[in-house]
Amino acid sequence: MYELERVSKTYRQGGRPVAALVDVDLTIADGEFVAVQGQTGGGKSTLLQLLGALDKPTSGTIRLGEADLGRMGASELTRVRATQIGFVFQSFNLIPTLSAQENVETALAPTHVDKRERRDRAQEALESVGLGDRVAHLPSELSGGQQQRVAIARALVKQPQVLLADEPTGALDEDTRGEIVGLLESVWKDRGLTLVVVTHDSWVAHRAERRIHLKQGRVTEKAAAKV
């Protein structure tokens, strides 16, 4: 699925360069479940942004399937994000003024599916995360776990090939954490998509097929540990 070759990302902070990723070589296979761990500031979020076509590397190549993300223009990257990649965030990032149903529909807005199909698919996605009875609720009327389920439904409704999650359980309590990880695991298995989860939490990381460690922008891979 992903092929990274000597990928570096350097930010400029007040004129000083900050190396967030340094010469990262990494291959992620189709349908793989990868956990990315590491100390804070290690470059985990930066890596996920590059995988998610939100940003381009300073040097090196990132291939998603056949496409070289580093060489794409802004509108092509937008297209990739709209069709191939689902994103789940630590703080859910739902639109506060839209209902659960409408939040899920925002992911279909760029794909030009008609209104009825959009509604049906959003409804379906919410049912698949166990929120079929909460479609009309605003984010503020849902618990943290429920909000993250809505966010997962939003990521899945476009039927992406990749699901990327940055600390998806970081804002949740332990019981809910289990629920959300269980949900991610089951969609990964059912849909056969590629799942990359950034986490501080080794309990979460241990559910993955493979764990990657990032330290000061460099990858140190731990032995694969299948659960």
Ligand X SMILES: Nc1ncnc2c1ncn2[C@@H]1O[C@H](COP(=O)(O)OP(=O)(O)OP(=O)(O)O)[C@@H](O)[C@H]1O
Residue closer to ligand X, measured from CB, 91 or 143? 91
**98: partner contacted, choices Mg ion, ligand X, another protein, none (Cβ within 5-8 A by kind):** another protein
83 belongs to the binding site for another protein (CB under 8 A) = yes
147 belongs to the binding site for Mg ion (CB under 5 A) = no
Residues 6+ apart with CB under 8 A from 42: 213, 214, 215, 216, 217
According to CB under 5 A, which one of 37, 45, 146, 148 is a site residue for Mg ion?
A: 45
* Residue 157 exposed, middle or buried by CB count within 10 Å (0-12, 13-18, 19+): buried
φ and ψ at 206, to 5 degrees? -70, -10
Q: How many CA atoms lie within 13 A of 30 on its CB side?
A: 7
Q: Which of 158, 102, 149 is nearest to 130 (CA)?
A: 149
Stretch that binds another protein, among 20-28, 109-117, 128-136, 186-194 (CB under 8 A): 109-117
Number of residues forming the site for ligand X (CB under 6 A): 12
φ and ψ at 75, to 5 degrees? -75, -30
According to CB under 6 A, which one of 14, 40, 133, 140 is a site residue for ligand X?
A: 40
**42: partner contacted, choices Mg ion, ligand X, another protein, none (Cβ within 5-8 A by kind):** ligand X
**What does each C-alpha distance from 178 to 29, 57, 127, 137, 198 come to in angstroms?**
25, 34, 19, 23, 16
Residue closer to another protein, measured from CB, 91 or 216? 91
Tokens of 31: 């349908």
Residues numbered 55 to 114 that lie near ligand X (CB under 6 A) are none
Q: How far is the CB of 10 from ligand X (least distance, A)?
A: 9
Cα(135)–Cα(2) distance, integer angstroms: 34
Q: Are strands 59-64 and 67-68 parallel, antiparallel or unpaired?
A: antiparallel
Which segments within 65-205 are labelled E, that is strand? 67-68, 85-88, 162-166, 194-198
101 belongs to the binding site for Mg ion (CB under 5 A) = no
According to CB under 8 A, which one of 38, 166, 199, 205 is a site residue for another protein?
A: 166
Q: How far is the CB of 190 from ligand X (least distance, A)?
A: 29
Residues that bind another protein (CB under 8 A): 45, 48-49, 52, 54-55, 74-75, 78-79, 81-83, 85-87, 89-91, 93, 95-98, 102, 105-107, 109-111, 118, 154-155, 158, 166-167, 170
